[in-house]
Structure 1
Amino acid sequence: MSSTTTFKVRPATLRDAKAIAELHNSSVREAFKSMLADTPVPVTPLDKRQAYWREAIEYAEPQVQVAMDEDKIVGFVGFDRSRDKGTPPTMGEIWAIYVASSHWDKGVGLALWDAAREGLMEEGCSNVSIWLPIANERAMRFHELAGFKREMNTAKTVQIGAVKIEEMRLKRPLN
């Protein structure tokens, strides 16, 4: 597959929930490996993760889109209005964006970002934010290349299983 390959992005269906959950867990494991050194990567049990994504797809909260490589899901994005307190209704948020490690640096993330941006604009959003682990250099670099700017005063510590992760919000206009 060349770097010029384009990926079809479509709305997720209930049948996609298991594949999304599996991809979510494997992507978290891979992304967090470098961040956590010798600490075991905290991963949500597959049945719980699948139930979450089934409900998200069913109720469109967040809206979920999947990237396809032929008939295989290789990435997904969940987006909706911002969950942060005090944000205006025109603030969107990428709740999750994950790509199979086999498809990193091949344009899947960009295809998902384009789909999320389009969907948020259709919802009347003018800005978008995302929360990212500060130590996830790959994700930070991707979003900064996509025009997101770090909001330095938003850094916070979140507990994921037995591990504490430093996160920061990034933000950008949609147009």
Structure 2
Amino acid sequence: MGIIIKAMETDSEKKGKAYVHWKSWHESYENIVSKDYLNKLTLEKCEEWAFQWPENTYVALDGDKVVGFVCYFGKGKDAPGVGEINAIYVLSDYYGTGVSKKLMDVGLEHLKDYHTKELWVLKDNSRAISFYKKYGFKEDGTQKEIKSLGATEIRMVK
């Protein structure tokens, strides 16, 4: 498997990122978030977001197929010195292949100048929490109820 990690640039890559976003939520969160939210999370909505916010996004390509992505940003004036991994998703067919690790490495490399890195994860997403702990992220006790999801997110910091 020749996975390439690169900045998301083309319309095809944005559409691929949108598909991974949509598919990942429907594969991974079916028993974690409300069915109503998942029913409203359409591929078209994910495409809209991919085209609206393309910056700071890297995609994992297997040939021409987008199989994962990572998004990151600095918190700016709200929290100087804090960078956030905003999203990291990989198609389930690529679990355990190292794609998630490659994406996380790229995201963290772009956040290397921030003294604190953070991310938010669904409290019941034990697979993701275990993955983040391998990178040194720890739960800091902060959580927020996301009513639209019918779920709780927790913050992890490094």
Superposed pair shares fold, TM > 0.5: yes
* CA 1:158–1:149: 2 relative to 1, 3 Å: same
* CA 1:6–1:146: 2 relative to 1, 3 Å: farther
TM superposition shift of 1:18: 1.1
TM superposition shift of 1:49: 1.6
TM superposition shift of 1:119: 1.2
Residue in 2 that maps onto 1:159: 147
Residue in 2 that maps onto 1:46: 43
Residue in 2 that maps onto 1:9: 5
Residue in 2 that maps onto 1:20: 17
Q: Take 1:19 and 1:86, find their aligned partners in 2: how far apart are those partners?
A: 31
Residue in 1 that maps onto 2:94: 103
2:61/2:67 contact within 8 Å kept = yes
Q: Take 1:146 and 1:31, find their aligned partners in 2: how far apart are those partners?
A: 21
* CA 1:86–1:13: 2 relative to 1, 3 Å: closer
TM superposition shift of 1:14: 3.5
Q: Gaps (5+ residues) in structure 2?
A: none
Matched residue of 2:147: which SS? strand
TM superposition shift of 1:68: 1.4
Match of 1:74 among 67, 80, 95: 67
Matched residue of 2:47: which SS? helix
Residue in 2 that maps onto 1:142: 131
Matched residue of 1:106: which SS? coil
Q: Take 1:143 and 1:6, find their aligned partners in 2: how far apart are those partners?
A: 24
TM superposition shift of 1:21: 0.8
Q: Take 2:75 and 2:150, find their aligned partners in 1: how far apart are those partners?
A: 23
Matched residue of 1:33: which SS? coil
Q: Take 1:14 and 1:82, find their aligned partners in 2: how far apart are those partners?
A: 26
TM superposition shift of 1:39: 4.2
The one-letter amino acid paired with 1:12 is M
- CA-based RMSD: 2.0
Identity %, equivalent residues: 28
